[in-house]
Chains A and B, each alone.
Chain A
């Protein structure tokens, strides 16, 4: 398993991946530097305001959309010139290949989240936010956003294994991501809509005793449930795929 993961990494290393990983955190940095957080000075910790401003473009649009790009990138070599045949002719099972690709995307998303953490810190330093850095809250937000992408990554990997082009899985992703702009405003639909979860899990809500910013029930049923659905869908699609 580890060796599959390693070979996946080698295939990816020279495919302009670092530029793609940095785009989101830079968007966040721009939004943070441009945000006017001074209005809340003294009322609440300015870092919260900064996080909320930076999260808006980052967690609603960027994070869900980039999962699709990463999933397509991870399958790019296999779709070219019979790559699936070569990969699956090795003594590896399809299940393990699928799991390795999934794990690699999750690692990349985690990297993006860590860069984003650095962007939050950088924007705060640049603006000279005087309040203490709320490390626990911000880590919750970073890791929560990561966990929220688990089902989205699974669906995108499914679509990327299925379709040869980048555009088709991306179209699927767009079709589901855009409505989250409406869904996140709705108290009824928002908690159940998987594409609205990155926003919900990154939005700092003080005073919740849970580990993340959404209740455990929602985490297990919506994120866990859709993760299982999409992962198994992709897994079986890949098992039956003609290479």
Chain B
């Protein structure tokens, strides 16, 4: 059942600009550094002898914002497929459980974000090589900066998917998302327990892996809570 639901979901997101946005996110994050390095390459090279590390830090200055905003946009898109035409009833009337419908939406979103993360890694390497940063390519750092934010952002994904599916008025989840991205933007001054801070990979122990584990744990919890609420709700 899950396979067919997933196939249906992937069918529904075709030609809606969703794949385009999935590619645009990582392109945008790297393009921002293309502009940054294009304008003041010599200055940035002089900032730090570890040019690869400094370059990755620069890339990472936009990744969390892009990932949180990307989540807001994609979750709203995913639920607007049914919301716009009041198709929730039709979807739920099929011989599928509500939980598996919710799971299929979440899975599609995770796949989209993972594709984004892979692309981010590839574009980061490509532009890094183009810049001729010298020395070894720091593969472990590259993997860390490309995939850790995705795992750390899972709670935000679970929360936004729930908000977008249960809200008739999409202005509500999007405004929530704006609040969230501002918390990410100002995250370095905020306490560690805020889920929007986690994609920044900052914490008081200076260990990004904690954010990944917290992200997966809290993500599963929030996802389960959202799914149970969705399953108990009336379909309007």
Contact = CB atoms under 8 A, between A and B. Distances in A.
A171 B73 contact: yes
A137 interface: no
B186 A57 contact: yes
A206 to B, nearest CB: 26
Interface of A: 15-16, 19-20, 23, 27, 31, 34, 56-57, 60-62, 65-66, 68-69, 72-73, 76, 79-80, 164-168, 170-171, 174-175, 178-179, 181-182, 186
B65 A66 contact: no
Give 8 nearest A-B pairs by CB, closest first. Answer: A166-B170, A167-B76, A167-B77, A165-B80, A57-B182, A73-B171, A65-B178, A20-B175
Interface in B172-195: 172, 174-175, 178-179, 181-182, 185-186, 189
A126 B204 CA distance: 29
Contact of A23 (B66, B74, B179): B179
Interface of B: 17, 21, 24, 28, 32, 35-36, 39, 62, 65-66, 69, 72-74, 76-77, 80, 84, 169-172, 174-175, 178-179, 181-182, 185-186, 189
B171 A61 contact: no
A171 B170 contact: no
A165 B84 contact: yes
B174 A166 contact: yes
Nearest to B179: A23
Contacts of A27: 179, 182
A4 B36 CA distance: 47
Contacts of B32: 178-179, 182
A171 B182 contact: no
Residue of B21, B80, B170, B182 with highest tally of chain A CB at under 10 A:
B182
B66 A170 contact: no
Contacts, number: 91
A15 B169 CA distance: 8
10 contacts: A23-B178, A27-B179, A76-B171, A166-B80, A167-B77, A167-B170, A170-B73, A170-B174, A175-B28, A182-B32
Contacts of B76: 165-167, 170
B21 A178 contact: no
Given A27-B182, A57-B186, A66-B178, A20 B28 contact: no
Given A31-B186, A165-B84, A178 B170 contact: no
A31 B185 CA distance: 12
B164 to A, nearest CB: 9
A59 B81 CA distance: 32
Given A57-B186, A65-B178, 20 more contacts: A16-B169, A16-B171, A19-B172, A19-B175, A57-B182, A61-B178, A61-B185, A69-B174, A73-B171, A164-B84, A166-B76, A166-B174, A167-B73, A167-B74, A167-B76, A167-B174, A168-B77, A170-B72, A178-B28, A178-B62
A180 B73 CA distance: 19
B225 to A, nearest CB: 22
B199 to A, nearest CB: 14
